Homo-oligomer: A and B are copies of this chain.
């Protein structure tokens, strides 16, 4: 279907209240892993982000990159073991994780944003000592637990109207580096900055009452209800840590948190700039 210009204008003007609502507010977008299914989609998401930035929203992108890490490790013939869904990370692997996240995934996103006309700056948790971490569990090796977040660099970049794109690598004072879960880091960064919203782009459409039935999407939950959904097993498996990060973000003062399906084109615009969301909103 094609739109004519009058229809286009109509749509634009209908976005006015949403644009107004987010004007000059900080929005953290968690993107990565399974939502980065192909190049076309990645380009499209980055273009959405440029739009958000241009219409006056202070956007921060926090990304993961599990599949890309696995791909490079495979090419380098390094075996990865997982424990409870977490990658066991020795020093060599940690370095490869950093290399892939900060040198490949991060710069790809930065470059795509640039090609759509945005001003992105790709940084990581080691830049300017942003994410200080420690070992969580010696069996997992350099999988980091965040012990401190310094947001001065992010604030300085936002002040100058750059879009910070952050790879979630942490450091400690002994010079070690850590693989940090991107959902956790995004929640913590959003909390520290008093963000208006955290948008977690995943590959599911949100929280489903019946995981096999997309019509059972829960469009809005509050923290205590989400807690209960976990206890009752409605939320299970890989969704549990994601939902816990959402809850954590709300607890740390983020106004609204969304889980949306990053595979849907312009999911983020639909969620933020139209009258009905498309995923699950935490309040």
Contacts and interface: CB of A to CB of B under 8 A. Distances in A.
Contacts of A123: 121-123
A119 interface: yes
Interface in A74-98: 75-77, 95, 98
Interface stretch (A110-118, A139-147, A251-259): A110-118
Contacts of A280: none
A16 interface: yes
Interface string A63-77: 000000000100111
Contact of A9 (B1, B110, B128, B270): B270
Nearest to A172: B115
A212 interface: no
Contact of A175 (B54, B115, B120, B266): B115
Contacts of A106: 102-103
A268 to B, nearest CB: 8
A187 B173 CA distance: 33
